[in-house]
């Protein structure tokens, strides 16, 4: 195994440093000289340069990544062979850390990733894998170290998960395999995250394999350890094939029950009973919506889909949120009930006003003028609208306090100052001459016709005294 050193060149790319390496290749930080652009450069180890299947698989990764146009998949800009025959693949350089590194740091400090952050990461992983499955691509190596976390203001929680390393991806469409064929009994993957069918051989691997691996990743985030822990890969493979993982609730009792149930569904031994990756993304989106107070979680649209509605999951807001109570929105039947009660109240009020109006009209009809004493008041004098001529007083009758007409209710009657006394020759009697008439209730048999004019307020009487 040979590695490149700082300053080495592969075509226009200058090596800066080694980022990491595996059994078949290595990844370097490099500079693309003409543009002075930082890139990640992946190479195939020299001992595999003569292996046609290995080279074909390596370049298939480049073709696969170039087909998957998605913000959560690392982008490929170039690939080829250097002058010395080294196969290389050029990808975007990512600033961040892997999910595996994040989990190791949290475990060392005794912390744990919050449930909301777990759902945000899980939803993004499921969403991008659903897009890959639509294109007939199975990753086959989903694990925390192949999930890169980078800052992204528009991603849920401000961090985007980038899916790396499609080196052992399985292409299910016959025309996409590029001459690469994996033996049926070949075991490929990372044992801690391999599905039962993957442990049994490559023949049974399909999209449900990635679903199982996602369940393993979520289990590890929530419990702080993978579903199975053993000394070697053989034991791990046996556990995946024949044992059930410990209950997530027993290791992480604070995890919401619905989330724990979903993780165990993803880890079902029978792949036919596991949900699809698209169903898993929908379920994680609904749980994320509940944890964050309701809202809509948007799914990615599959590449090449002509239906504008395909790939969008509208999450129904959970009870207890303010959604549906904003201006212009309706929340249940409350507004209709309020409108009905308001209509009844208005009808009752209108009826009461009508009855009161008729009652006042009845009391104010057919009234006879009688003499009545003035009513004292501290309010200012209000001039009458109409002044009636003086008329002789009626025969003396008991003075009664009568109800005021509705029309004159807003004009209070007040006492006036005494007028000057007029002196007459001796022998004349003193006669009381009221200048106006008051209103009294209608006697029986009187006419019910309303007076044509409003009566003026009462005035003081004028008396005559002998000289």
The catalytic residues are 141
Torsion, Cα of 286, 290, 292, 293 (10° steps): 130
Torsion, Cα of 20, 212, 128, 282 (10° steps): -150
- Residue 327 DSSP code: T
Question: What's the rounded Cα separation, in Å, for the pair 177 and 363?
Answer: 102
Torsion angles phi and psi, residue 213, rounded to 5? -65, -40
Beta bridge partners of 92: 39
Place of tokens 């109570």: 325
Pairing label, strands 147-151, 368-370: unpaired
Token pair for 182 = 């994996």
Beta strands in 114-252 (DSSP E): 137-138, 147-151, 159-163, 170-171
Q: Which helix (H) or strand (E) holds 115?
A: helix 115-134
Question: What's the rounded Cα separation, in Å, for the pair 63 and 230?
Answer: 36
Question: What's the rounded Cα separation, in Å, for the pair 191 and 384?
Answer: 107
Which residue intervals of 243-333 are DSSP H helices? 248-251, 257-266, 277-291
Question: What's the rounded Cα separation, in Å, for the pair 392 and 408?
Answer: 24
């Amino acid at each position: 195994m040979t590695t490149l050193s700082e300053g080495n060149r592969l075509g226009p790319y200058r090596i800066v440093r080694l980022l990491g390496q595996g059994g078949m290749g290595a990844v370097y930080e490099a500079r693309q000289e003409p543009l002075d652009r930082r890139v990640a450069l992946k190479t195939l180890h020299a001992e595999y340069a003569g292996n046609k299947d290995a080279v074909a698989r390596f370049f298939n990764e480049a073709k696969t990544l170039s087909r998957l146009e998605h913000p959560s998949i690392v982008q490929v800009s170039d690939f080829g062979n250097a002058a010395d025959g080294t196969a290389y693949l050029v990808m975007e350089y990512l600033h961040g850390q892997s999910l595996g590194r994040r989990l190791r740091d949290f475990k060392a400090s005794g912390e744990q990733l919050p449930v909301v952050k777990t759902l945000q990461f899980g939803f993004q992983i499921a969403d991008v894998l659903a897009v890959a499955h639509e294109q007939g691509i199975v990753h086959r190596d989903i694990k925390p170290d192949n999930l890169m976390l980078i800052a992204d203001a528009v991603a849920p929680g401000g961090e985007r998960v980038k899916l790396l390393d499609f080196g052992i991806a399985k292409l299910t469409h016959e025309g996409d395999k590029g001459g690469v064929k994996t033996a049926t009994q070949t075991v490929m993957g990372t044992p801690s995250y391999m599905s039962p069918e993957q442990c049994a051989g490559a023949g049974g691997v399909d999209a449900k394999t990635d679903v199982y691996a996602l369940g393993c990743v979520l289990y590890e985030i929530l419990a702080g350890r993978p579903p199975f822990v053993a000394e070697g890969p053989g034991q791990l493979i046996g556990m995946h094939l024949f044992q059930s993982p410990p209950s997530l609730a027993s290791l992480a009792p604070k995890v919401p029950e619905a989330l724990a149930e979903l993780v165990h569904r993803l880890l079902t031994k029978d792949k036919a009973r596991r949900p699809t990756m698209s169903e898993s993304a929908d379920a994680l989106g609904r749980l994320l919506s509940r944890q964050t107070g309701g809202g809509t979680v948007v799914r990615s649209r599959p590449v090449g889909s002509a239906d504008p509605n395909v790939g969008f999951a509208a999450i129904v807001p959970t009870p207890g949120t303010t959604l549906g109570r904003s201006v212009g929105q309706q929340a249940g039947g409350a507004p209709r009930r309020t409108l009905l009660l308001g209509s009844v109240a208005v009808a009752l009020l209108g009826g009461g006003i009508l009855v009161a109006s008729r009652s006042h009209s009845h009391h104010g009809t057919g009234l006879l003028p009688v003499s009545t004493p003035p009513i004292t008041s501290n309010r200012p004098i209000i001039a009458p609208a109409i002044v009636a001529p003086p008329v002789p007083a009626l025969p003396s009758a008991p003075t009664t306090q009568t109800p005021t007409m509705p029309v004159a209710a807003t004009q209070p009657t007040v006492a006036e100052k005494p007028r000057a006394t007029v002196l007459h020759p001796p022998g004349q009697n003193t006669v009381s001459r009221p200048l106006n008439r008051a209103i009294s209730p209608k006697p029986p048999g009187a006419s019910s016709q309303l007076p044509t004019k409003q009566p003026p307020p009462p005035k003081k009487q004028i008396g005559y005294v002998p000289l």
